Chain A
Amino acid sequence: MKNYRYRFRNQFSPVANAVLTLIAGLFAFVCVYPMLLCIGVSFTDEKSLARYGYRLIPKNFSTRAYEYVMFNSHQLLNSYIVTILITVIGTLLAISIVAMLAYPMSRPNFKYRNFYSFVVFFTMMFSGGLVPSYIINTQYYHLTNTIWAIILPACCSAFNVIILRTFFSSNVPASLIESAKIDGAGEFYAFLRIALPISGPGIATIALFLTIGYWNEWFNALLYINNNKLVPLQLLLVRIQNNLDMLQQTANIPGADKEAWIANLPSDTARMAMVLFSVGPIILAYPFFQRYFVKGMTIGAVKE
């Protein structure tokens, strides 16, 4: 007699469950394996890379790549702090602005919501380009050498607004808000006390995207930050890598200063080590936000 107990728990049959778990696991493995390879390479002696290629377990263990990156350690610590500052401030600021823009757009009683959608969406399609933005940010807004040059341009991304709007319209029923208004609540109060709490997954999604985005940001920093004290992590790592490449390419230019220590510079191994420096902390962000992706957050709301 077949065991249908799983049906009552509303689960897959053991066979189906095993197959699906296998598929997910396999894909997860394919995603993780390259990272493991990076770790392995970063702990390898540079010379053996050429002979043995990339291997998971290094043929010749060496921490030289990490030593090299740590050589810039006072700057490394500083950059971590700058990046954390930018990420936290940026994410909090952006969530507020995006949510406050997306929520009205999701309300059926908001007459111009299609106009707003168009205006927001339009910014995703058309852009003046690099030079006009640079001119305006440096000469008019005077954002050079401030962290605001990194935070502000990204704090109201059209993509986030549209995604959050869709979440709001799916998860926050108009009837709920209406009943709150009948009880005397204002729109903003309804937004704050009713809509937000039940929009956990949507807000968490946007917050995660913002956190990852600010953490990885380096191009605006390259353009607008000259002060070394304000260099965020990713830009520092990009610079270390470019300087490494430049040093090795110019090492033998006639007339260039021939420094013996250049002979020992890590190249590919440093590249991999820097991946870990930049990914390490942020990978903890996802588990942090994961607890908002819990089913049934909206139960209480509808029952009201």
Chain B
Amino acid sequence: MPFFEELLKNKSLYLMTLPGLLILLLFNYLPMAGIVIAFKDYTPLLGYFRSKWVGFKNFEFLFKTSDALIITRNTVLYNLVFITIGIVCSVGMAIILSEINGKRLAKVFQTGMLLPHFLSWVVVGYLVYAFLSTDTGILNRMLKQFYGMKAVNWYSTIKPWPFFLVFSNLWKTVGFNSIIYLAAITGINPEYYEAALLDGATKWQQIFKITIPMIQPQITILFLLAIGGIFRSDFGLFYLVPRNSGILYPVTQTIDTYVYIGLTTMGDVGMTSAAGFYQSIVGFIMVLGSNLIVRKIDREKALF
């Protein structure tokens, strides 16, 4: 059989993959059976098998709300912005750091940029509050001092929040995400650059004609993976930073915050599972679609 022939031919390669596959089986695939909880009225006494099947009932609360459109719109739009601007900024920052003259300075900057990753959203929420608080916040104090403006209740003003949130997300993730691109850049063969220099290319031309194309595999993969999370959101960012201010809901409420708020009082395992499944299946279909498109363009760059 061709299957076993292939196995024998590359026997050591297949053997190498065994530990990884085993871990995936034990800790990812076996628990995956629990997805059925999303379709059942689960009680621990009856377990997966005998709990009552309820079809799509656990999914209703995701759609039967007057806010269903808003939470979906917010989640998707923010994600699209995060993904595109995020990639541009991360790649840009990686290039800058790898190209500026002061190498030691660049290393210091890199370490500094990593710091936001370590601050939890809880702490960031406090820091943002120190900045935006109506009575004692830094922003209001500055506005009063330099512009003579009255104190603004930022947690009740909707307009600036999309910017606040996008900026917060960028601030927290660019440093960390640029590491992957940095590593990719260091892997580029310097001979390409030497050859380009001999041909009279400027630095900028080198960046756009060599660097960026050479790290394209990483960019594509990270883009595809990010698409998979299109219906998910960073709970800490959307719940803790705006301090769950009700007035801001139209621009800060996402599927995840909706699920959290809706279910904390009820603690329904089935509904929580349904929400997760809903987010997963949409993301999955999106990735399948995007992957197909990427395959058509360049088969090697695709995820699978």
Which one, A57-65, A68-76, A267-275, is touching chain B?
A267-275
Given A34-B124, A104-B17, A126-B280, are A166 and B23 also a contact pair (CB < 8 Å)? Answer: no
Interchain nearest-CB distance for A57 vs B (Å): 14
Task: Flag A87-130 by CB within 8 Å of B: 1 or 0 each.
Answer: 00000000011101101110101111011111111011111111
B266 contacts the other chain (CB 8 A): no
Considering the complex, which residues of chain A in the window 280-304 have a beta carbon less than 8 Å from any beta carbon of chain B? 282-283, 286-287, 290, 292-299, 302
* Number of A residues with CB within 8 Å of any CB on chain B: 104
For residue B300, which residues in chain A have a CB less than 8 angstroms away from its CB? Answer: 169
A153 contacts the other chain (CB 8 A): yes
Given A104-B10, A156-B20, are A27 and B35 also a contact pair (CB < 8 Å)? Answer: no
For residue B225, which residues in chain A have a CB less than 8 angstroms away from its CB? Answer: 124, 159, 162
For residue B284, which residues in chain A have a CB less than 8 angstroms away from its CB? Answer: 125-126
Total A-B contacts with CB atoms under 8 angstroms apart: 273
A152 contacts the other chain (CB 8 A): yes
Q: Name the residue of chain A whose CB is nearest to the CB of B274.
A: A129
For residue B23, which residues in chain A have a CB less than 8 angstroms away from its CB? Answer: 97, 152, 155-156
A240 contacts the other chain (CB 8 A): no
A226 contacts the other chain (CB 8 A): no
Q: Name the residue of chain B whose CB is nearest to the CB of A35.
A: B115
For residue B116, which residues in chain A have a CB less than 8 angstroms away from its CB? Answer: 31, 34
Contact indicator A170/B197 (Cβ below 8 Å): no
A205 contacts the other chain (CB 8 A): yes
Contact indicator A272/B123 (Cβ below 8 Å): yes
Given A31-B115, A205-B183, are A53 and B130 also a contact pair (CB < 8 Å)? Answer: yes
A146 contacts the other chain (CB 8 A): no
Instruction: For A32, give its contact among B112, B138, B184, B221 (CB under 8 Å).
Output: B112
Given A98-B20, A156-B20, are A171 and B6 also a contact pair (CB < 8 Å)? Answer: no
A66 contacts the other chain (CB 8 A): no
With A and B bound together, what is the CA distance between A290 and B284 in angstroms?
Answer: 35
Task: Flag B122-159 by CB within 8 Å of A: 1 or 0 each.
Answer: 11101100100100111000000000000000000000
Interchain nearest-CB distance for B26 vs A (Å): 7
Contact indicator B203/A129 (Cβ below 8 Å): no
A246 contacts the other chain (CB 8 A): no
Considering the complex, which residues of chain A in the window 127-150 have a beta carbon less than 8 Å from any beta carbon of chain B? 127-133, 135-136, 141
For residue B218, which residues in chain A have a CB less than 8 angstroms away from its CB? Answer: 163, 166-167, 170
For residue A161, which residues in chain B have a CB less than 8 angstroms away from its CB? Answer: 20
Interchain nearest-CB distance for B248 vs A (Å): 22
Interchain nearest-CB distance for B166 vs A (Å): 14
A279 contacts the other chain (CB 8 A): yes
Contact indicator B119/A34 (Cβ below 8 Å): yes
Interchain nearest-CB distance for A201 vs B (Å): 4
Contact indicator A129/B273 (Cβ below 8 Å): yes
For residue A202, which residues in chain B have a CB less than 8 angstroms away from its CB? Answer: 183, 187
Q: Name the residue of chain A whose CB is nearest to the CB of B181.
A: A205
Contact indicator A287/B183 (Cβ below 8 Å): no
* SS of B interface (majority): helix
Given A53-B138, A104-B14, A279-B115, are A205 and B190 also a contact pair (CB < 8 Å)? Answer: no
Considering the complex, which residues of chain B in the window 187-220 have a beta carbon less than 8 Å from any beta carbon of chain A? 187-191, 193, 197, 202-203, 206, 214, 217-218
Contact indicator B24/A156 (Cβ below 8 Å): yes
Instruction: For B24, give its contact among A120, A268, A275, A290 (CB under 8 Å).
Output: A120
**B interface residues (Cβ-Cβ under 8 A, vs A):** 6, 10, 12-14, 16-17, 19-21, 23-24, 26-35, 37, 42, 48, 93, 96-102, 105-119, 122-124, 126-127, 130, 133, 136-138, 171, 174-175, 179-180, 182-191, 193, 197, 202-203, 206, 214, 217-218, 221-222, 225, 228, 269, 272-273, 276-277, 280, 283-284, 287, 300, 303-304
22 contacts between A and B (CB under 8 A): A10-B193, A25-B105, A27-B93, A37-B130, A111-B10, A125-B228, A128-B35, A132-B32, A132-B33, A132-B34, A133-B27, A136-B30, A152-B27, A167-B184, A188-B12, A201-B184, A204-B183, A271-B123, A271-B126, A287-B111, A295-B190, A296-B190
Q: What 3 A-B pairs come out closest when comparing CB atoms?
A: A132-B34, A128-B34, A101-B20
**A interface residues (Cβ-Cβ under 8 A, vs B):** 7, 10-13, 16-17, 20-21, 23-25, 27-32, 34-35, 37-38, 53-54, 96-98, 100-101, 103-105, 107, 109-112, 114-121, 123-133, 135-136, 141, 152-153, 155-156, 158-159, 161-163, 166-167, 169-171, 186-188, 191, 201-202, 204-205, 208, 212, 216, 268, 271-272, 275, 278-279, 282-283, 286-287, 290, 292-299, 302
Apart from A27-B113, A124-B225, A155-B23, what 16 extra A-B contacts exist at CB < 8 Å?
Answer: A10-B206, A23-B96, A34-B116, A35-B115, A104-B13, A118-B304, A123-B28, A127-B28, A152-B23, A162-B225, A170-B184, A186-B12, A201-B182, A293-B186, A295-B190, A297-B186
